[in-house]
């Protein structure tokens, strides 16, 4: 039995969204058990509880030896506000866990990876369980936790370390104590709801701050707002331009992003958790 704790380090989910995941797990994954922390449903302005409440819930899930996995319920904005404090207070049990999420949860994945705590995994989150496409993305995570690697991003080969981030999350994390060392990694990035000029600006910043990568792959750039004038480069042309400027090998596309095609990317060189 894999015991999965779910908390919301950024924004809240609804009980209906939680119930949809519970139903999926009960019907298809009898070897997994999910437990939602009550904090997932609380609200303090934009956030799922204030900073202390979100930090406390994350630590309760991470430091409890009864759980094998901590799955972040939803992205949004807010994980960065508690990530450093969380990492500083994690115990021995927290170091043996798998942590799954993406988008804003990348702040936590990055901070954990930098600190060598557990296994960080880019993967879809419980909030998506009410749509059929979302359930398919969630199944990839649950299958990976079961030892099935069919939902892993196809370019992950187990010989070169990998990491995957939302572009603006990575750019904001760069230069902070949360930023992991990605030297020698294949870095995958995706973005949602940003103008192409903003995507270009984010690459401009990262091109000057990233270490020597093994290469970069571009995930989905979705829900791009319409601008009053065409930017003049596609998202892939932008990535290729800044990779060339920075001397980073551009390796093509990756199946990650804010869509139902979102694949699993274990950070580093990782195999699925051992089944007991």
What is the tens place of the pLDDT at every residue in 5-61? Answer: 999 999 999 999 999 999 999 999 999 999 999 999 999 999 999 999 999 999 999
Q: Give, in degrees to the nearest 5, the angle at Cα 65 between 54 and 276.
A: 125
Q: Give, in degrees to the nearest 5, the angle at Cα 130 between 129 and 135.
A: 45
Yes or no: say if 196 and 235 are a contact pair by the CB < 8 Å rule. Answer: yes
Q: What is the 3-state secondary structure (H, E, C) of 196-230?
A: HHHHHHHHHHHHHHCCCCCEEEEEEEECCCCCCCC
Distance CA 240, CA 248 (A): 9
3-state DSSP assignment of residue 132: helix
Per-residue pLDDT at 276 exceeds 60: no
- Give the pLDDT of residue 275: 61
Determine which helix (DSSP H) or strand (DSSP E) holds 166, and give its type and residue range. strand 162-166
Token pair belonging to 254 = 């990756």
Distance CA 196, CA 228 (A): 12
- Give the pLDDT of residue 273: 76
What is the per-residue pLDDT across 197-208, written as a single tens digit (0 to 9) for each? Answer: 999 999 999 999
* Mean per-residue pLDDT, 246-261: 98
3-state DSSP assignment of residue 250: strand
Yes or no: say if 94 and 117 are a contact pair by the CB < 8 Å rule. Answer: yes
Token pair belonging to 239 = 């990535």
Give the N- to C-terminal CA distance of the chain in Å, as an integer: 7
Per-residue pLDDT at 4 exceeds 90: yes
């Amino acid at each position: 039995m894999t015991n999965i704790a779910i908390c919301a380090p950024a924004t809240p989910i609804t009980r209906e969204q939680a119930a949809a995941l519970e139903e999926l797990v009960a019907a298809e994954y009898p070897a997994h058990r999910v437990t939602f922390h009550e904090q997932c449903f609380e609200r303090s302005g934009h956030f799922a509880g204030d900073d202390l409440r979100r930090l406390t819930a994350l630590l309760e899930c991470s430091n409890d030896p009864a759980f094998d996995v901590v799955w972040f319920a939803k992205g949004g904005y807010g994980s960065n506000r508690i990530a450093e404090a969380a990492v500083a207070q994690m115990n021995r049990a927290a170091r043996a866990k798998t942590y799954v999420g993406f988008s804003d949860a990348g702040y936590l994945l990055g901070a954990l990876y930098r600190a060598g705590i557990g296994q960080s995994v880019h993967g879809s989150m419980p909030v998506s369980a009410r749509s059929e496409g979302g359930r398919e993305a969630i199944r990839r995570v649950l299958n990976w936790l079961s030892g099935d690697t069919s939902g892993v991003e196809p370019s992950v080969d187990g010989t070169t370390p990998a990491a995957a981030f939302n572009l603006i999350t990575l750019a904001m994390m760069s230069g902070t104590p949360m930023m992991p060392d990605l030297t020698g990694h294949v870095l995958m990035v995706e973005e949602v709801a940003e103008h192409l000029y903003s995507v270009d600006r984010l690459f401009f910043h990262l091109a000057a701050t990233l270490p020597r990568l093994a290469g970069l792959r571009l995930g989905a750039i979705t829900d791009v707002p319409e601008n009053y004038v065409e930017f003049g480069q596609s998202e892939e042309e932008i990535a290729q331009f800044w990779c060339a400027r920075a001397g980073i090998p551009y390796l093509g596309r990756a199946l990650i992003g804010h869509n139902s095609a979102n694949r699993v990317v274990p950070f580093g060189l990782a195999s699925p958790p051992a089944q007991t």
